[in-house]
Amino acid sequence: APGVKATEECLPVLPMTVSMEFMAEAAALLVPGLGLIGFEEVRATRWIALENVSSIELEITAKAAPDSARPGVQPVQAAIFCQGKLSASATVLFGSSYREDVQFAIADHRGDGPWPVTAEEVYARRRMFHGPSFQSLAALHTLGNPVSSGELAVLPRDRLFASNPQPVLLTDPCLLDGVGQLFGLWCQMYDLYVLPSQVKKLEFYRSAPPVGTRVPVRIEV
């Protein structure tokens, strides 16, 4: 963050959405033949700090448990431990088909005004701390209370892992992080500053779209 913060004051951490991807990959080993359909009760209890290290060892556990209340859904309890301490946990959901258990009822946002910043300014002015690989906010449309909208861009993944320029992922951590970025930016408009630490429920209805796709996004706070 040149001109904003000295290097020694910066604290690089592993994004929560990357932790979710790691847990999903471990959980998938227990349910061959089933696809990832969502997450429940995601908790980031301790961030995984990446400063002053060239490598860090993570222990990821996964345990499948039947769910008689939801036929066709296989939950897997997963967790990440870093240096012997719990860093994240989640229930990862798998199935043979997608489900629509989350009910969406977004409030009317007609008449809301524009954002006072552009998507480019969000990163150029360091309103968000993300580097190029996670700068997924592509456009800001309407700003309102409680509903705001914008657009996310599906970014390349070739710089996420130094050892693998073409990773095969179950989710798109950069795209998912963009939803949190829009929420965090909304909070800034009201002089609030937050770092997401929990997700109650997340559902997928298709595989991740290809690089370059522009994805509409709406949030209701």
| Interval 62-98: pLDDT, tens | 999 877 788 889 999 999 999 999 999 999 999 999 9
- Cα–Cα distances (Å) from 19 to 70, 81, 145, 214, in that order, read 26, 11, 30, 24
Confidence class of residue 41 from pLDDT cuts 50, 70 and 90? very high
Rounded Cα–Cα distance for residues 208 and 92 (Å)? 17
Residue 199 pLDDT > 70: yes
Q: Is the pLDDT of residue 39 over 70?
A: yes
pLDDT at 10: 75
Supply the pLDDT for residue 52.
80
CA 106 to chain centre: 20
Report the pLDDT value the prediction gives residue 126, as an integer from 0 to 100: 85
Predicted pLDDT of residue 50: 85
218 close to 148: Cβ distance less than 8 angstroms: yes
0.75 cut: is pTM over it?
yes
Is a pLDDT exceeding 90 seen at residue 28?
Answer: yes
Helix (H, G, I), strand (E, B) or coil at 83: coil
The phi and psi torsions of 151 (rounded to 5 degrees) equal -140, 140
Instruction: Say if strands 58-64 and 73-82 run parallel, antiparallel, or are unpaired.
Output: antiparallel
pLDDT band at 1 (very low <50, low <70, confident <90, very high): low
pLDDT at 111: 67
- Predicted confidence at residue 2, as pLDDT, reads 67
Average pLDDT value for residue range 46-57: 86
Average pLDDT over residues 146-150: 93
| Residue whose tokens read 């431990």 | 81
Q: What is the mean pLDDT of residues 116-136?
A: 91
Residue 155: band (very low, low, confident or very high) from pLDDT cuts 50, 70, 90 = very high
H-helix or E-strand containing 93? strand 85-95
